[in-house]
Amino acid sequence: MSNEFQPLQGMNDLSGTEVLRWQALETIAHKQLAFFGFTELRTPILERSEVFLRSLGDATDVVQKEMYAFEDRGGRAISLRPEGTAGVVRHVASLGEEGLQSKFYYMGPMFRCERPQAGRKRQFHQIGVEAFGEPNPLADAECIALQVHLLEAWGLEGVSIRINTRGAKDEHEHVSEGLRSALEPHKNKLCEDCQRRMNENVLRVIDCKNERCKTVSQSIPAMLDFLSETSQAYLKDVLEALRQLGVNAEYDATLVRGLDYYEHTVWELTHSALGAQNALAGGGRYAVQMGKKTINGVGFAVGVERVLATLEASNKGFSDEMEHQRYWLVSLGEDALKANMVLAMQLRKKGLRCGLELNVKSMKAQMRKAARFGAAYALIRGDNELKAGQIIVKNLKESLQEECDLQSWLRTHEGEE
């Protein structure tokens, strides 16, 4: 098919039943996140590039290779957001002291100019939360538990949680130095990227997926070994709180998460139903410098496409997934069409979802359309039914039909949905 009418590579149009699944997923998220005291924050999709450079770190892959960064007509450096946290943190910095205790969630599109492949889009969608406040192991554990709860509310089971610690901010340099000297004797065995990363962003060597790099990483001391007792105890407290909350999480020394803003707890959720790109969600605690303020918080982001793909792979849908139109009005002749147009307005005002064909068409053509819109019932009227004040109600799933008095049908379907 010609590309002329296709969206850009790595981006999708969403329509039909697919968009209904998205709406069902979003509705559940709004409800569940409110239970935990989060309110929605909608930040702009475009931000000054500096917002991301400052918080994610300028040596990170997202910033160096993946950001859609450009100059606007006024020569300002701006970027499409590659993730949600930086914008939320910028907003919190604009608030007074009370902002430093706030709890926000967001949902919407993120943009990364990566090589498109299965499970990796250039425009993808995340639902994320940010809970602001000083480092506190209980807050981290609650955030992870919320994430698991949300996935369960969507019907997802069997997620694996891997967790690690990056330690406090003031220990990062010491950890990087320690890892660098431990890696130095093995430098020649590392992949080309990692040889470069050793100087720029040594943590990325630890989570490199190359087998040779993995063997080297396993042979050197873990990040945890370079951390203070306080930071090690912080991780222990998180794990203990998770145990009390009944959440299973496995310590993984190789988990680092790519961005500079993280400190202490980092984690990732995966699901075996996904292929190579098996990460469903990731999160962590962070500290971002905004002018004179340090903004501390903990948060996560769930990949919506990946959640839906996992549900599909597990043959699961949402119980409140809707048909497009519950009723489809079928008109046999011009008089019936005009009367049905009035009836359709009446039904909609009662809160019933219905549609109808506005041209005079054959019964067969109208039934085809009813099926296309996923209608559960056809309401059929021709001249005879009009005269008699009747309507034929056809259950399209079970192919049953009955003739009813229109007024009594309307009374019994008051406020049905």
* Interface residue with ligand AMP, options 148, 301, 356, 391 (CB under 6 A): 301
Rg (CA), the chain: 27
Q: Restricting to residues 120-139, name those near ligand AMP by CB under 6 A.
A: 120-121, 124, 126
Decide whether 105 or 377 has the Cβ nearer to ligand AMP.
105
* Interface residue with ligand AMP, options 90, 306, 353, 381 (CB under 6 A): 306
Residue 112 touching ligand AMP (CB under 6 A):
yes
From 22-30, 185-193, 301-309, 372-380, give the range in contact with ligand AMP by CB under 6 A.
301-309
CB of 328 to ligand AMP, least distance (A): 36
Decide whether 258 or 355 has the Cβ nearer to ligand AMP.
258
- Rounded Cα distance between 124 and 302, Å, is 11
Residue 204 touching ligand AMP (CB under 6 A):
no
Residue 253 touching ligand AMP (CB under 6 A):
no
Residues near 64 by Cβ (< 8 Å), separated by ≥ 6? 58
Count the Cβ atoms, other than its own, within 10 Å of residue 228. Answer: 13
Mask for 281-300, x = binds ligand AMP (CB under 6 A):
xx------------------
CB of 190 to ligand AMP, least distance (A): 23
Angle formed by the axes of helices 49-56 and 85-94, nearest 10°: 100
Mask for 61-90, x = binds ligand AMP (CB under 6 A):
----------------------x-------
CB of 280 to ligand AMP, least distance (A): 5
From 14-22, 303-311, 332-340, 393-401, give the range in contact with ligand AMP by CB under 6 A.
303-311
- Rounded Cα distance between 285 and 298, Å, is 4
CB of 307 to ligand AMP, least distance (A): 8
The residues of the shown chain that bind ligand AMP, judged by CB under 6 A, are: 83, 112, 114, 120-121, 124, 126, 279-282, 301, 303, 305-306
